[in-house]
């Protein structure tokens, strides 16, 4: 028995040692590159520091992260870039990009805080108090009470000075001021919640000054907000949608970050070309249905094919089964059995349908369809906009081989690559819409009209979102464009525009669908249509590299040697 135990121990040691050796090797079997340890530690250390230095816009947090990212940059630069594998070079460039973007954000924070210094200083003492709280130091409760009382008085003085001097702040500075005061309030709450009840003296002395200061911070934040220069605020054009157009300069900076070497104007031109193609195909389908060039009438018939109330989930299941059967029949990619087994459904609430009028995907397919709470017109618009022919075009986008499979594979392949970008996430899911169109997945002209609705919608997203951020269009113009040119139900168009400009999405998110899809489409032509890879090999290879800018996927799959001063140059649209 002892001999067996010893052999088991030796075998375990051998296997463990072997695993460690493999994990350190930058090869295809291990699934990692030379940057693995650096990347894992960077993410873990950032998480630890974020949880410790948690007060937004505090000087302590800003200084600590400036030092952290500068230190990480120094560590990164010790790698011999030219000796790295292609995957290692990609990781190097993307980690450098991430670090530099964080340093840029911190420098912008420093500039804005400096401009606001006079007005955000009155409660700065709260940062020191919260720092002591983190280590549980015993506080002089009587002194804390007096200090909080003094801060409330300082805020009153600052309020009077604001009214007297009447300075104006840009919307960016106003938001920074609001977030800074919110951070100070959070520091105050953190201290009070920690000591109250556990320290009787603290509770006795501090409760009343705390309550007064807590309210004073709320009031002061409102006073600061009122000082915004109204000329820097987007106007309500009657739609009720108030977004934050960022302007051409910031659009170009963000496009550069996402490795998209096109200007906003060039992307709008690409979208218009894609729109023109869809227009022509839409007329073909309309004629096949007997409506001639009246595509609106043909689309109206398609919209009226909605399923009865209560039957949408089973209709989605039917479409999913057809989609997956098609993928398997054509041997397009590997579908892990557990990925098929574990997706599920939920229903989207009426309130959320105001910004998500269509279904959403991932491991859970979230379905938009009317409930008894909705008024009659909204019920009909929801049913018409989620008819089976429209939905058939996007079930694979949301589940397999789109978002659900993406998440499933990301959790199992090179998980250390936390380079999330909508150009990969939404681009890959959209690519499948393009590919399945080419492979005659739509079975009828009605199906084609459904797929074309979404294809036009993706082009429209580029056009309306960029025009909005360039300051050319208002939200209402964006809504009207979706109704007039794509055929949206008006309520759904309003939800789409509200989601784009008031939801938690970056300015480039809406254009990432079609743009990223076209990148993957071009990469497929380069590698599959040329005979260098089978289509299944291509799809499986993409999903095993995890999320990143598509140009970096291209570099890995083509084993392209990169330069340390790499700049995006892949002009992927050639129509």
**238: alpha, beta or left, given left = phi > 0 and alpha = psi -120 to 50?**
left
- CA dist list (Å): 139 to 191, 193, 212, 265: 10, 14, 19, 59
pLDDT at 14 over 70: no
Average the pLDDT over 162-182 and give the result: 96
For 400, the 3-state DSSP assignment is coil
pLDDT at 92 over 90: yes
| pLDDT of the residue at 23 | 32
Quote the CA–CA distance of 310 and 345 in Å, as a whole number.
Answer: 14
pLDDT in tens, 243-291: 999 999 999 999 999 999 999 999 999 999 999 999 999 999 999 999 9
Q: Are 449 and 302 in contact (CB under 8 A)?
A: yes
Burial of 465 (0-12, 13-18, 19+ CB in 10 A): buried
Angle at 316 between CA 446 and CA 287, to 5 degrees: 5
pLDDT in tens, 334-348: 999 999 999 999 988
Identify the CA nearest to 317 among candidates 356, 344, 348.
344
| pLDDT of the residue at 30 | 55
| pLDDT of the residue at 371 | 80
**Residues belonging to the chain:** 575
pLDDT at 15 over 60: no
Cα-trace Rg, the chain: 28
Q: Is the pTM of this model over 0.75?
A: yes
Chain position carrying tokens 């000796």: 83
* Domain spans in the chain, listed from the N-terminal domain onward: 248-557
Average the pLDDT over 431-444 and give the result: 96
Neighbours of 439 (CB within 10 A): 13
H or E stretch covering 364: strand 364-367
Identify the CA nearest to 49 among candidates 113, 108, 106.
106
| pLDDT of the residue at 192 | 98
How much of the chain is helix, strand and coil, in % rounded to 5? 65, 0, 30
Angle at 432 between CA 491 and CA 538, to 5 degrees: 155
Quote the CA–CA distance of 549 and 525 in Å, as a whole number.
Answer: 18
Range in 159-168, 320-329, 360-369, 511-520 with the lowest mean pLDDT:
360-369
Identify the CA nearest to 522 among candidates 551, 549, 495, 543.
551
Give 367-371 contacts, CB < 8 A, sequence gap 24+: 367/312, 367/313, 367/316, 369/309, 369/312, 370/309, 371/347
Average the pLDDT over 86-111 and give the result: 98
| pLDDT of the residue at 209 | 98
| pLDDT of the residue at 24 | 34
Range in 350-359, 537-546, 562-571 with the lowest mean pLDDT:
350-359
Burial 503-539 (b: 16+ CB within 10 A, else e): eeeebbbbbbbbbbbbbbbbbbebbbeeeebebeebb
Average the pLDDT over 354-360 and give the result: 72
pLDDT at 359 over 80: no
Range in 51-65, 260-274, 357-371, 467-481 with the lowest mean pLDDT:
357-371
Average the pLDDT over 485-490 and give the result: 90
pLDDT in tens, 197-251: 999 999 999 999 999 999 999 999 999 999 999 988 888 999 999 999 999 999 9
Instruction: Work out the pLDDT band at 492, boundaries 50, 70, 90.
Output: confident
pLDDT at 570 over 90: yes
Quote the CA–CA distance of 520 and 518 in Å, as a whole number.
Answer: 5
Angle at 32 between CA 29 and CA 33, to 5 degrees: 115
| pLDDT of the residue at 52 | 98
| pLDDT of the residue at 28 | 44
What's the token pair of residue 287? 């004629």
Quote the CA–CA distance of 549 and 107 in Å, as a whole number.
Answer: 25
| pLDDT of the residue at 109 | 98
Neighbours of 565 (CB within 10 A): 7
The percentage of the chain sitting over the pLDDT mark of 90, rounded to a whole number, equals: 82
Residues contacting 358, CB < 8 A, separation 6+: 368, 385, 386, 390, 394, 492
pLDDT at 71 over 90: yes
Mean pLDDT (the chain, rounded) = 92
Average the pLDDT over 7-21 and give the result: 37
Instruction: Work out the pLDDT band at 90, boundaries 50, 70, 90.
Output: very high
pLDDT at 42 over 70: yes
| pLDDT of the residue at 338 | 98
| pLDDT of the residue at 355 | 64
| pLDDT of the residue at 251 | 98
Asked if residue 401 has a cis previous peptide bond (ω within 30° of 0), the answer is yes
Average the pLDDT over 122-144 and give the result: 97
Quote the CA–CA distance of 165 and 175 in Å, as a whole number.
Answer: 20
């Amino acid at each position: 028995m002892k001999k067996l135990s010893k052999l088991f121990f030796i075998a375990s040691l051998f296997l463990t040692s072997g695993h460690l050796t493999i994990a350190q090797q930058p090869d295809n079997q291990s699934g990692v590159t030379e940057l693995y340890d650096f990347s894992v530690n960077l993410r873990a250390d950032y998480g630890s520091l974020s949880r410790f230095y948690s007060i937004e816009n505090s000087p302590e947090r800003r200084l600590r992260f400036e030092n952290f990212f500068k230190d990480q940059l120094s560590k990164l630069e010790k790698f011999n870039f030219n000796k790295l594998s292609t995957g290692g070079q990609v990781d190097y460039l993307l980690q450098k990009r991430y670090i530099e973007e964080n340093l840029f954000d911190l420098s912008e924070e420093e500039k804005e805080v400096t401009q606001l210094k006079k007005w955000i200083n009155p409660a700065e003492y709260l940062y020191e108090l919260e720092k002591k709280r983190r280590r549980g130091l015993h506080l002089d409760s009587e002194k804390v009470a007096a200090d909080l009382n003094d801060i409330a008085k300082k805020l009153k003085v600052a309020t009077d000075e604001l009214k007297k001097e009447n300075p104006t702040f840009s919307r960016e500075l106003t938001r920074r001021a609001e977030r800074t005061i919110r951070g100070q309030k959070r520091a105050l709450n953190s201290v009070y919640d920690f000591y109250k009840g556990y320290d009787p003296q603290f509770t006795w002395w501090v409760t009343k000054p705390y309550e007064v200061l807590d309210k004073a911070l709320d009031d002061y934040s409102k006073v600061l907000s009122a000082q915004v220069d109204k000329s820097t605020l987007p106007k309500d054009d009657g739609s009720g949608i108030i977004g934050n157009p960022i302007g051409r300069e910031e659009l170009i900076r963000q496009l550069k970050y996402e490795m998209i070497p096109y200007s906003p104007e060039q992307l709008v031109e690409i979208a218009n070309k894609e729109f023109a193609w869809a227009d022509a195909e839409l007329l073909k389908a309309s004629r096949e249905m007997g409506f001639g060039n009246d595509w609106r009438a043909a689309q109206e018939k398609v919209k009226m094919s909605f399923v009865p109330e209560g039957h949408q989930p089973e209709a989605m299941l039917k479409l999913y089964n057809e989609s997956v059967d098609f993928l398997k029949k054509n041997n397009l990619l590997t579908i892990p059995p557990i990925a098929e087994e574990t997706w599920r459904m939920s229903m989207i609430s009426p309130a959320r349908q105001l910004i998500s009028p269509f279904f959403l995907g991932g491991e859970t397919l979230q379905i938009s369809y009317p409930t008894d709470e909705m008024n009659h017109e909204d019920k009909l618009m929801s049913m018409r906009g989620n008819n089976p022919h429209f939905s058939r075009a996007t079930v694979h986008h949301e589940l397999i081989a789109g978002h659900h499979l993406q998440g499933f594979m990301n959790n199992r392949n090179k998980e250390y690559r936390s380079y999330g970008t909508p150009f990969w996430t939404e681009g890959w899911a959209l690519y499948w819409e393009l590919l399945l169109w080419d492979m005659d997945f739509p079975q009828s002209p009605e199906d084609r009209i459904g797929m074309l609705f979404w294809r036009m919608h993706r082009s429209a997203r580029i056009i309306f979102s960029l025009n909005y951020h360039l300051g050319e269009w208002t939200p209402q113009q964006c809504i009207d464009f979706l109704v007039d040119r794509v055929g949206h139900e008006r309520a759904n168009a309003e939800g789409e525009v509200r989601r784009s400009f008031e939801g938690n999405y970056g300015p480039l998110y809406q254009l990432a669908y079609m743009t990223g899809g076209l990148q993957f489409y071009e990469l497929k032509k380069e590698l599959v249509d040329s005979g260098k890879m089978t289509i299944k090999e291509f799809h499986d290879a993409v999903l095993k590299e995890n999320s990143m800018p598509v140009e970096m996927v291209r570099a890995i799959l083509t084993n392209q040697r990169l330069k340390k001063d790499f700049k995006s140059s892949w002009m992927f649209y050639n129509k």
